[in-house]
Amino acid sequence: MHIELRGITKCFGALRANDNISFAVPPSSIHGILGENGAGKSTLMKILSGFYSPDSGDILLDGKKVRIASPADAIRHGIGMLHQDPLDFPPLKVIDDFILGSKGNLIPNHKSATREFRELAARFGFSIDPESYVDTLTVGERQQLEILRLLWLGARALILDEPTTGISLPQKEKLFATLKKLASEGMTILFVSHKLEDVEALCNKVSVLRQGKLVGSVDPPFATGALVEMMFGKEIALEPKAQLRFGSNVLHIKHVDLEGIRIQIKGLDLQVRAGEVIGLAGMEGSGQTLFLGACAGLAQPVGGSFCLDEDEKDMTGRTYHEFRKHGVAYLPAARLEQALVPGLTLTEHFILSEGMKGLFIDRKKAEALAKSRIQVFNIKGRPDSTVESLSGGNQQRALLALMRDPLKLILVEHPTRGLDIESTIYIWNKLKERCARGTSIIFISADLDEILKYSDRVLVFFAGRVSPPLEASTLSVERLGRLIGGKDWETLETEAAHA
Amino acid sequence: MRDSRATRLLFKVGAILFALIVTTGVLFLAKAQPFAAYKYITLGALGSWDVVTNVFVSWVPLLLATSGLLVTFTVGLWNIGIEGQITLGAIFTTWAMRLLEHSGWNPTLILMLAVLAGMLGGALWAMLAGALKTFGGVNEIFGGLGLNFVATALNIWLIFGPWKRPGVASMSGTIPFDRSLWMPIAQGSSRLTPATLVMAIVGILVVYAMIEGTYFGLRLKAVGKNARSAHILGIPTWQYMMSSFAVCGIFAGVAGAVQVTAVYHRLIPSISSGYGYLGLMVAMLVGYRASLAAPVALFFAALNVGSIQLPIVLKLDSSLAGVLQGTLVLFVVLGQGVRSRILKKTKVKS
């Protein structure tokens, strides 16, 4: 399908999310859409897939002007969108999820659908059991299911929004091979990402968006520096990893047993020193979140003990509020669900997190505090902006700005998930500043590069098993990837026995 | 359509019109003359100084209940148990009065202690609902509803049992207190008690200041809007829920105390007079904002008082006021839903 966008403009209030964007994508090609957070990529794709209507501008499919009123309308026109978080139904069987969006008879024909599912899956070398349940699939497999479903519904163009987030390396390779095969068969593919390497490896052409405008489109070979400059308007250098000397123990975990809903961790030992960064690697649901929550008193261990500080203050069984009082901060990944209060302003959040004392709110003091934090943390928002009106990157900055000072230990789930390079670097700079002042950090990430780049030591989680702390400097992405996938654990144990 | 003050007002006015149309329809069905009914309601509420003071007598407990409910709504709780809390406030007040009525103490002191006892009773009953929710996992709506029935049963048992009139127990309640122990009535009025008026006005001002201006109020809001995030931000959520129950219970208790000391001068079976449920309607109608509670509660009180005459003059039941109040709330809430739907549609289309 030939897709052409002409002068697409979309405003949300005063914000021009898309500003007069025009470009065309021919059939049999993979077109990359690159841009930082809030550049307008998602808005543009949501317009193309019927979630939003543009304020002005036209969409032409195979040269014909069309109006796409809803996602169902989009799929009727042959446009299928694969969302960042798969829009599927975890409690359903794969085959039911597959059939769900199709038009047709009152009673779906399972037999023929299953046959067609197997044929399609075989064509791409996917091995998904149609009788298994969606919630037993990995994120990568759920993506595969979505691709199959959209193809079955007659998609002739696929939009993929950040598809490489949260999937393993082999799954990513599989995905790329599939996309290339589809393109060679005449499919039009729009690939939205902020990961340069993915775009470079895959795309025939790349369009870069910045602040709602199309900066330009480039053909391969792609020069990384040039792309970064187009995305940000400037080149960004990564901070070199500073070698810090660690202080005394901040957290001492002694032979802790934890029990989650579907996961058990037994006999975990760890000593975290002041200024140290510990990365927790593993597939989602391997026990990292349970462990991190337990370090903040959000989950209680069934055995062993947690001690804080040099003087080994026993915190086992204490509540989150007591951990918090002792200088432990917890930053959840679900920002609007677990960390911020939609409906309240930035100022009100600062008042709450500071625990300001007294009866009546000191508005002047609070506003001054909010203004200074907004400036220091470079948040794009006003003191009276509600948190839900901020973009994801700015919400994450707000979370950092809400942390109290000083802190002993910062626990972070996915500190930079879904953020662009600039925000990622910014957030880690802010976290490293804390380390330099003696704060320790334990963080979870699905991004192996992030784990290796920022951690001093790494714990790998696999189905409740936890590796001994591994020096990040001795690890490679490949080795870490194998450990996450459950390989090489025997050698790990022999190494530990020798050490 | 744009989201503006004008469209919001338009929907409010529309809701009132619809409520009037439906009520008029009900009157036609009852083969009554609607305009005569409205005329008599208006006359019944504003026709003389005496009925106007009656409106204020009804306004006081209604506004007290609404004030308390604004606090529980802020923290995201549906305190339907307020009826029982009013009843327990009335029972505790009566208990204190019975204890002290022959003590020979200063009547003002006795009345003050009685109101304090009412506060205690309301707060305890509310915290029972809170404890059921916090420690027992019982939704506050179910717990509150259950406790309402228990409170009513307790009240009736007291009236027909331990506190019954000498000789014969009666649905008309316990023996009235001595006149010296009635809340002082304003000169030139038959029922208006300035002290309770002050309580209601101070009450709503306190609630307004608490929600809009204090750290306590902001934390309540945070818990109400997202308890999980509030917890992570360091707010002890269940303590705040309990405190909001306690505050609401105190207000309900005062309402009960007012009913006993200023209105009926005794304990009667239906001592709460439905002011708790009516307060829920007022709170919904004002969109849980304290600033509008006083005038809207006054309007509801006027409808209540105005319709008292209906059975006599038109042979209509006085529950007509309830029909009007209920449909009004329904249409205002419906209007909000329709408005946000239309706004969403125009946003997508524009």
pLDDT tens profile B253-268:
999 999 999 999 999 9
Residue A387 falls inside a structural domain: yes
* Contact (Cβ atoms closer than 8 angstroms) between residue A446 and residue A417: yes
Residues in chain B: 350
Whether residues A408 and A283 fall in one domain: yes
Single out the residue in A397, A418, A434 at which a domain terminates: A397
Which residues in chain A have Cβ-Cβ distances shorter than 8 Å to B216? 359
Residue A240 falls inside a structural domain: no
Lookup: tokens for B64: 């007290």
Q: How far is B349 from chain A (nearest CA, A)?
A: 6
Whether residues A38 and A74 fall in one domain: yes
Residue A332 falls inside a structural domain: no
- Identify the pLDDT of residue A480: 82
Domain count, chain A: 3
Residue A144 falls inside a structural domain: yes
- Identify the pLDDT of residue A490: 81
- Identify the pLDDT of residue B281: 92
Give mean pLDDT, residues B64-78: 96
Cα gap B73→B80, rounded to integer Å: 11
CA dihedral A421→A424→A426→A427, nearest 10 degrees, is 170
Q: Which residue has the higher pLDDT, A354 or A243?
A: A354
On the CB side of B48, how many CA atoms lie within 13 Å of its CA? Answer: 6
Whether residues A77 and A166 fall in one domain: yes
Lookup: tokens for B262: 């200023």
- Identify the pLDDT of residue B144: 95
Cα gap A131→A113, rounded to integer Å: 12
DSSP letters for A76-93: HTTEEEE-SS----TTSB
Sheet holding A213-218, edge to edge: A79-82, A157-161, A188-193, A29-34, A205-210, A213-218
Domains present along chain B, CATH in parentheses: 59-306 (1.10.3470)
Query: What are the tens digits of pLDDT across the range B291-306?
Result: 899 999 999 999 999 8
Lookup: tokens for A331: 């930053």
Q: Within 10 Å of residue B29's Cβ, how many Cβ atoms?
A: 8
Q: How far is A328 from chain B (nearest CA, A)?
A: 11
Distances (CA, A) of A482 to A174, A478, B118, B202: 16, 6, 69, 68
Whether residues A181 and A53 fall in one domain: yes
Domain of residue A49 covers 3-232
Q: Which residue has the higher pLDDT, B35 or B61?
A: B61
A-chain residue closest to B230, CA distance: A341
CB contact under 8 A, B213 and A321: no
Please tell me whether residue A220 adopts helix, strand or coil conformation: coil
Q: Within 10 Å of residue A133's Cβ, how many Cβ atoms?
A: 15
Mutate: best of A352, A365, A369, A399, partner B, most B CBs <10 A: A352
Query: pLDDT-based confidence at A40, cuts 50/70/90?
Result: confident
Give mean pLDDT, residues B316-343: 84
Q: Is the pLDDT of residue A407 over 50?
A: yes
Q: Is the peptide bond before A406 cis (omega within 30 degrees of 0)?
A: yes
Query: What are the tens digits of pLDDT across the range A275-316?
Result: 899 999 887 778 888 999 999 999 899 998 899 888 888 988
Which residues in chain B have Cβ-Cβ distances shorter than 8 Å to A52? 348
Lookup: tokens for A17: 């999310």
- Identify the pLDDT of residue B3: 64
Average of per-residue pLDDT values in chain B: 90
Identify the bridge partners of residue A411 per DSSP, sorted by sequence position.
A330, A442
- Intra-chain end-to-end CA distance of chain B, in Å: 10
Query: What are the tens digits of pLDDT across the range A167-198?
Result: 777 888 888 999 999 999 999 999 998 777 78
Residue A197 falls inside a structural domain: yes
Whether residues A28 and A172 fall in one domain: yes
Residue A242 falls inside a structural domain: no
Whether residues A386 and A462 fall in one domain: no
Give mean pLDDT, residues B118-142: 95
Q: How far is CA A265 from the centre of its chain?
A: 25
Give mean pLDDT, residues A350-359: 86
Burial state string for B301-324 with b = 16 or more CB within 10 A and e = fewer than 16: bbbbbbbbbbeeebebebebbbbb
Whether residues A306 and A422 fall in one domain: yes
Q: Is the pLDDT of residue B97 over 90?
A: yes
The CATH number that applies at residue A206 is 3.40.50.300
Please list, in sequence order, all residues whose beta carbon lies within 8 angstroms of the beta carbon of residue A23, skipping any fewer than 6 positions away: A4, A5, A207, A214, A217
CB contact under 8 A, A348 and B222: yes
* Contact (Cβ atoms closer than 8 angstroms) between residue B248 and residue B126: yes
Whether residues A387 and A445 fall in one domain: no
* Contact (Cβ atoms closer than 8 angstroms) between residue B65 and residue B276: yes
Single out the residue in A232, A258, A288 at which a domain terminates: A232
B-chain residue closest to A324, CA distance: B234
DSSP letters for A387-413: GGGS-HHHHHHHHHHHS-SS-SEEEEE
Whether residues A64 and A119 fall in one domain: yes
- Identify the pLDDT of residue B350: 46
Residue A333 falls inside a structural domain: no
8-state DSSP, A103: -
The backbone torsions φ and ψ at residue A161, rounded to the nearest 5 degrees and listed phi first, read -100, 110
Closest to A322 in 3D by CA, of A297, A304, A285: A297
Give mean pLDDT, residues A413-432: 85
Q: How far is A281 from chain B (nearest CA, A)?
A: 23
Lookup: tokens for B106: 């200063």
- A130 burial via Cβ count (<10 Å: 0-12, 13-18, 19+): buried
The pTM is what?
0.74
Q: Is the pLDDT of residue A14 over 70?
A: no
Instruction: Mean pLDDT check: name the lowest of A126-135, A320-329, A402-411, B28-37.
Output: B28-37
B-chain residue closest to A350, CA distance: B233
- Identify the pLDDT of residue A165: 67
Q: Which residue has the higher pLDDT, B325 or B148?
A: B148
Among chain A, residues having any CB pair with chain B shorter than 8 Å are: 52-53, 55, 320-321, 324, 330, 332, 336-344, 348-349, 351-353, 355-361, 402
Instruction: Mean pLDDT check: name the lowest of A142-151, A170-179, A436-445, B3-12.
Output: B3-12
Query: What are the tens digits of pLDDT across the range B208-243?
Result: 999 999 999 999 999 999 999 999 999 999 999 999
- Identify the pLDDT of residue A483: 81
Vertex B115: Cα angle to B109 and B120 (nearest 5): 125
Residue A411 falls inside a structural domain: yes
Give mean pLDDT, residues A60-72: 91
Which residues in chain A have Cβ-Cβ distances shorter than 8 Å to B229? 336-341
| Residue B211: its H or E element | helix B194-213
CB contact under 8 A, B229 and A337: yes
% of chain A at pLDDT higher than 70? 94
Query: What are the tens digits of pLDDT across the range A79-134?
Result: 999 887 777 888 889 988 888 877 766 777 888 889 999 999 998 888 889 999 98
Whether residues A214 and A154 fall in one domain: yes
Q: Is the pLDDT of residue B323 over 90?
A: no
Query: What are the tens digits of pLDDT across the range A460-497?
Result: 988 778 999 998 888 887 788 778 777 778 888 777 66
CB contact under 8 A, A330 and B350: no
- Compute the radius of gyration of chain B from its Cα atoms: 21
Whether residues A212 and A116 fall in one domain: yes
CB contact under 8 A, B215 and A359: yes
Average of per-residue pLDDT values in chain A: 86
Whether residues A314 and A449 fall in one domain: yes
8-state DSSP, A133: B
Single out the residue in A232, A259, A277 at which a domain terminates: A232
